[in-house]
Structure 1
């Protein structure tokens, strides 16, 4: 079986690593700053690391503080309600601001359609209830 990471261009791997580390930083900031959602950023980091560096992926998923945020989703336990609320709220705020700033009707339609689909996806995910 081919190594999926080995088939990616070096530039793409670096871009994915950069996005992954930026997402980790934003996720950690989100733990302390209630305006930023932690779970979506850490999930994005895990997805980027899974496609660019198995070492960083395993580090993140097994991390004693950050790992549980990701493992709960990956294990099918769901997303915390706070994560869902922040993800949907910030997404809609940014989409609506973008729609205000971009006057092109086709771009607005694309952004709004994307926001609706992502909202439906997030809402359909199981909600993680703390014990």
Structure 2
């Protein structure tokens, strides 16, 4: 069972790494959330893979400050928020249920608050 979990974490980690790298090239796809998932998965899969990932340029450029200092650049925050808010906005528009819309708007506001006031902003 333990081996299956490690294989699953490694597989998900590499898939999210590929999506994160694509996000570096395509501005419509966010980089940081996929790289955070990669880091989470690699940490649970293999010490060797995790150390390799931490030594890569993509980790150092996009995640190191967030992981070590709990800080992001304003550009990172805006890209993540724009992508995630637009994804939450789609069901908010399509669903014809007032309670669901209120719940989704509340989630959007709380996420916006967290990113802007709880995560420190650093210069690029």
Give the unaligned 5+ runs of structure 1.
Answer: 1-7
Query: Matches of 1:18 and 1:37 in 2, distance apart?
Result: 20
| TM-score, reference length from structure 2 | 0.78
Cα RMSD of the aligned pairs, angstroms, is 2.4
**1:99 is aligned to 2:92:** yes
1:40·1:83 contact (CA, 8 Å) conserved in 2? no
Give, in angstroms, the shift of residue 90 of structure 1.
Answer: 0.8
Shift in alpha-carbon separation, 1:113–1:54, aligned structure 2, 3 A: farther
Q: Name the SS for the 2:29 alignment partner.
A: coil
Q: Does 1:42 align with 2:35?
A: yes
Gaps of 5+ in 2: none
Q: Would you tell me which structure has more helix in proportion to its own residues? A: 2
1:1-131 → structure 2 map (5 Å cutoff): 10-63=3-56, 65-68=57-60, 69-76=62-69, 78-123=71-116, 124-130=118-124
Normalising by structure 1, what TM-score? 0.75
Assess if the C-alpha contact under 8 Å between 2:70 and 2:119 holds in 1.
no
Q: How many corresponding residue pairs?
A: 122
CA deviation vs aligned residue, 1:67-113 (integer Å, no higher than 9, x gap):
21221111206212221101101111000102223334444444333
